[in-house]
Amino acid sequence: MSSAAGPDRTSAAPGSGAVLEFRDVRFVRRGRVILDAIDFAVRPGEHWALIGPNGAGKSTMLSLGGALQHPTSGEVFVLGHRIGRVELQQLRRSIGHVNPRHPLTSALTIREVVLTGITGTIELVPRWEPTPAEFARANDYVHLLGLDGKAEEAWTTLSQGERGRTLIARALMTDPELLLLDEPSTGLDVAAREQLLDTVDRVRIAHPALASVLVTHHLEELPRSTTHAMLLADGRITSIGRATDVLTTANITACFAHPIEIEHRHGRWHARSTAHAAPSSSP
């Protein structure tokens, strides 16, 4: 496993200022090892990408980091609290978790969906009313996420890209220290993807102390503001450290067990297969 040296090593001790930390984490589900020997820490202002093949364990890592599950062994610290020794519902209010499969089916407006970030619910809570300050905060995030003029549009009529930006605004309503993004570009066309990634960059600039972790399969879906990366395969880390050190042709090829050439241009990553096509046989 390759890793960055010196200050980029990511196994800090509890209380060292890490927003999220995994220490020798193992996760087993129905007898199958999903994660094994995971050491990982995210500090304020760092923006991590978790990348790997399907079934590598990326979404499981996000669920542990979001205080949704407990590790089978090892320790997970979120915002200085060890999972298993803290009330999880309260802890989750300090984590912004963006899931593109948000299970809302009613016709809440964009502004109303953003306001549910305060209550941590899918629907608006009956008889609950936001304070004027909360209402103004929701409007501020609608503006930051580029949704001006659409605040009254219904969730059921939104494009996938508009839903993604709405969910990021919702996640920011509690002023979280940690933002978790689970494949936020899923189902987006190229234009919508680029709008979403520009939005993520704007959020990170506007909140310099915010730490974030983004899960994706595709390097083209990484924002320019990505600072660090972890490659995961078969539940184990194959490379970890600064994004520019980790996201290389050699490391990506090893992680995906397929020859993939990586380019880094204008702050973005691009990948293409270098496997030669088999020659066609003549009749």
Q: What percent of the chain lies above the pLDDT cut of 90? A: 64
Which pairing describes strands 95-98 and 20-29: parallel, antiparallel, or unpaired? unpaired
Cα gap 114→43, rounded to integer Å: 26
- Mean pLDDT for all residues in the chain: 88
Domain map of the chain by residue range? 12-94+177-192+208-273, 102-175
pLDDT digits (tens, 9 = 90+) for 7-18: 333 434 445 589
Task: Return the SS3 of 51.
Answer: strand
DSSP string, 221-237: G--TT--EEEEEETTEE
* Residue in the structure block whose two tokens are 């610290």: 77
Cα gap 217→246, rounded to integer Å: 15
Cβ burial of 215 (10 Å; 0-12, 13-18, 19+) is buried
Check residue 30 and give its pLDDT. 92
Check residue 281 and give its pLDDT. 52
Check residue 276 and give its pLDDT. 66
- Topology of domain 12-94+177-192+208-273, CATH: Rossmann fold (3.40.50)
pLDDT digits (tens, 9 = 90+) for 239-262: 999 999 999 999 999 999 999 999
For residue 44, the Cα-to-chain-centroid distance in whole angstroms is 15
Record the pTM: 0.86
pLDDT grade for 186, boundaries at 50, 70 and 90:
confident
Region for residue 95 given its phi and psi (left: phi exceeds 0; alpha: psi -120 to 50; beta: otherwise): beta
